[in-house]
Amino acid sequence: MEKVLITGVTGFVGSHLAEYLLTMPDVEVHGTKRWHLSRMDHVAGFADKIIWHDCNILDATGVRRVVKEVQPDIIFHMASESFVSPSWDNPREYMDTNYLGTVNFLDAIRDIKPDTKFHIPGSGEEYGDIHPDELPINEFTVLRPVNPYAVTKVAQDLIGYVYFRSYGVQVYRTRTFNHEGPRRENVFGLPSYAYQIARIEKGLQEPVVRIGDTGDKRNFTHVKDIVRAYWLAVHKCEPGELYLVGSDEEDKVYTFQETLERLIAMSTVKDIKWVTEPAFVRPTKVPYLIGDTEKFRQITGWRPEIGFEQILSDTLNYWRERV
């Protein structure tokens, strides 16, 4: 029986990861939550199967208590501040959560259970200002982060590498490109479009979708494919090494405008328009996040199984149910 602790288990990726692991017969799933802030609706169908631990990852004492109680074989560190836009106004909060929260777990593992596998899910945002002649991004592409969130993810990743090299903590490092699907909050691009279209279909909003920049190009992967990749990462990859994860097939690479147009085409309402909302436009752009994930695929045998149209329809239907 493998004991798995998922921090941020009620979040977008954490909840899908828990749901996936609960289908396995020899895995015991533990999860951290904050009693007053966690999104329990994300785990409504399987919450009773998770062993719960109240924990604020910024509280080093609380983190040590949880690690000591659980004695986890694996920790998937999903708890983070992940929405880019507020990071410009709250850089300290983002650094505290994403960096110091990670250090708290690394210290606890080092002292209490050094053989724990600790997975750090990095972000393609860490690459930042990538030029067309640098595509596709690989493990050696230079990092030019252009927002505070991305800087915190670089710091989180590199301190994990330091603990691996300095103390032998079994840190598994991935950088994942855009992943979408149900439960992703409507402050992000694709779910924001889906949320507004769902409101339009129910007559709660005029037939206009308000958007930010839509020219940035991404490779999109379904969150269910990503959590499957994370499980493979801690079982087939090498600690300390960096692996890029995501869809790099041409049929999963689109601009945000193309995703918006496809979602509008799925709507029951015709002639939906869109306008740029200045408040949604970020101070800096990340024009290209298209990765070469061949290293990870060769080692793990992972391939994305869910198509782009399914990503869009799953997201739209999720918001149709919630609105």
Under 8 Å between Cβ of 306 and 234:
no
Q: Residue 34 domain-assigned? A: yes
Judgement on whether residues 128 and 159 belong to the same structural domain of the protein: yes
Compute φ and ψ for 102, nearest 5 degrees: -70, -45
Q: Which of 52, 63, 21, 49 is nearest to 232 (CA)?
A: 21
Question: Is residue 142 domain-shared with residue 233, that is, in the same domain?
Answer: yes
Tell whether 164 is covered by a domain: yes
Domain extent for 26:
2-179+221-245
> Measured on CA atoms in the order 140, 144, 146, 151, is the torsion positive or negative?
positive
Q: What is the pLDDT of residue 178?
A: 96
**Are 119 and 145 contained in the same domain?**
yes
128-151 confidence digits (pLDDT tens): 999 999 999 999 999 999 999 999
User: Domain of 195: which CATH number?
Assistant: 3.90.25.10
Distance CA 282, CA 321 (A): 29
Judge contact between 221 and 179, C-beta under 8 A.
yes
The pLDDT assigned to 251 comes to: 87
Q: At 112, which CATH number?
A: 3.40.50.720
For residue 180, the one-letter residue type is: E
- Total domains in the chain come to 2
Q: Rounded CA gap, 90 and 113, in Å?
A: 33
271 inside domain: yes
**Is 40 found in the same domain as 21?**
yes
| Whether 265 and 225 share a structural domain | no
Which pair of structure tokens corresponds to residue 120? 């750090």
**Same domain membership, residue 258 and residue 237:** no
In this prediction, residue 37 carries a pLDDT of 62
Tokens of 279: 């408040």
In a shared domain, residues 18 and 102: yes
- 159 and 136 in one domain? yes
Other C-beta atoms lying within 10 Å of the C-beta of residue 310: 13
Arithmetic mean of pLDDT, 85-114: 97
Domain shared by 11 and 145, yes or no: yes
Output DSSP code: residue 100: I
Do both 133 and 266 map to the same domain? no
pLDDT tens across 13-64, in order? 999 999 999 999 999 999 998 876 668 899 999 999 999 999 999 999 999 9
Q: Is residue 189 part of a domain?
A: yes
Residues 272 and 148 in one domain: no
Residue 46 lies in a domain: yes
**pLDDT reported for residue 36:** 65
Asked whether residue 296 is assigned to any structural domain, the reply reads no
Could you tell me the strand order of the sheet in which 253-255 lies? 253-255, 217-219, 288-289
Contacts of 256 (CB under 8 A, 6+ apart): 189, 190, 211, 213, 214, 215, 216, 218
Q: Kindly state whether residues 258 and 278 are assigned to the same domain.
A: yes
297 vs 250, more confident: 297
Cβ-based neighbours of 69, under 8 Å, separated by 6 or more: 53
Residue 299 in any domain: the answer is: no
